[in-house]
Amino acid sequence: MLTTQYRLPFRLVYQNELASPGHDILLRLHLDNTPTQDAADTFNASVLPLMLAMTTGAFAGNAIAPWTSTVRNWGEPTIDGNVVQWTLEAVNCDLRAWIVLAQHFIEDAANYPVNKMEVLDAHQVFGLVGAVSSSLGANPYPARWSGIDFLVDFDADLSKFFTVRVVFAHEPSPEEQEMIVEDLYGWAPALMNGFYAVAPLSRDDCIGIPDEDIAFIGNELEWTIGSFRADPAAIDGLMNVFMSISRKIDPVLEFHVE
């Protein structure tokens, strides 16, 4: 059963079967009142960073191979009565990604009250489970993949400013560098927008600011992250991104946080 760090002001229900790959998913928010377009836009602005990060493998968790973890497509939300709804195609992610999103919705729901969030199979709805809200000591974040095969040098007691240094098997070509940067830029908005918050702090107080410049020096990459006040699980997500990069683009030999 999924568990949040925060006390959600709404119910979260989901299907356990969504842990298997390739589901089309309906993400539905039931509001207390008929949502305006401004409300839909506000919630959509919170959904977008998660969708981008999911395409990189960051939310694969410990059981799903990161290079297979993704969401193939998502559209703009629709409004039907009191419900704001997204249709997400071919989703493959750790179920805890939905806990992360629910926690992120807390501050949006303060302006546009929500009574229920649903994460459903778009074609066959059954066996709904309710998440446990506000469990002391709960870890709601997807873990690093259990099969990571590169050297990891990472202390969870992170400083406010640090550099991620990655050693590849080969010097990435200019085209490969562009692909790597695209994946890293896909993960970054989740960190910058407070998706790795630490209870009871607000999402705006739990961010990190990655440098815009990612340096490639021979077969190494360096990326500085500053103003880091997020949960260390953010780095687990980043390791999953590099595991995906390792399989798709250039094998990773070492991952250091310095």
pTM as predicted: 0.95
In a domain, 174, yes or no: yes
Question: Residue 86 carries which side chain, given as an amino acid letter?
Answer: W
Question: Residue 144 carries which side chain, given as an amino acid letter?
Answer: R
In a domain, 145, yes or no: no
Whichever domain contains 93, its CATH number is 3.30.70
Q: Which of 254, 258, 222, 246 is nearest to 152 (CA)?
A: 254
For the segment 18-65, what is each residue's pLDDT rounded down to a tens digit? 766 778 999 999 999 999 999 999 999 999 999 999 999 999 999 999
Boundary (domain end) residue, out of 130, 163, 184: 130
Q: State how far the Cα of 182 lies from the Cα of 171, in Å rounded to an integer.
A: 17
* One domain, residues 109 and 163: no
* One domain, residues 126 and 188: no
* One domain, residues 94 and 169: no
Boundary (domain end) residue, out of 98, 130, 162: 130
User: Which pLDDT score is estimated for 124?
Assistant: 86
Tokens of 130: 């309710």
Whichever domain contains 237, its CATH number is 3.30.70.600
For the segment 13-22, what is each residue's pLDDT rounded down to a tens digit? 999 877 667 7
Helix, strand or coil for residue 236? helix
Residue 233 φ/ψ, nearest 5 degrees: -60, -20
Helix, strand or coil for residue 24? strand
* One domain, residues 199 and 113: no
Mean pLDDT of 76-99: 96
Tokens of 105: 């919705």
User: Which pLDDT score is estimated for 110?
Assistant: 96
In a domain, 1, yes or no: no
* One domain, residues 155 and 51: no
In a domain, 219, yes or no: yes
In a domain, 216, yes or no: yes
User: Which pLDDT score is estimated for 20?
Assistant: 66
In a domain, 34, yes or no: yes
How big is the chain, counted in residues?
258
* One domain, residues 175 and 225: yes
Q: State how far the Cα of 53 lies from the Cα of 20, in Å rounded to an integer.
A: 19
Mean pLDDT of 221-250: 97
For the segment 179-216, what is each residue's pLDDT rounded down to a tens digit? 999 999 999 999 999 999 999 999 999 999 999 999 99
State the DSSP H helix or E strand holding residue 86, giving kind and residue range, or none if neither: strand 83-91
* One domain, residues 122 and 88: yes
Q: State how far the Cα of 90 lies from the Cα of 72, in Å rounded to an integer.
A: 5
Boundary (domain end) residue, out of 95, 130, 165: 130
- Our count of domains for the chain comes to 2
Residue ranges making up the domain that contains 68: 11-130
Q: Write the burial class of residue 180 (CB in 10 Å: 0-12 exposed, 13-18 middle, 19+ buried).
A: buried
* One domain, residues 69 and 175: no
For the segment 94-142, what is each residue's pLDDT rounded down to a tens digit? 999 999 999 999 999 999 999 999 999 998 888 889 998 876 677 899 9
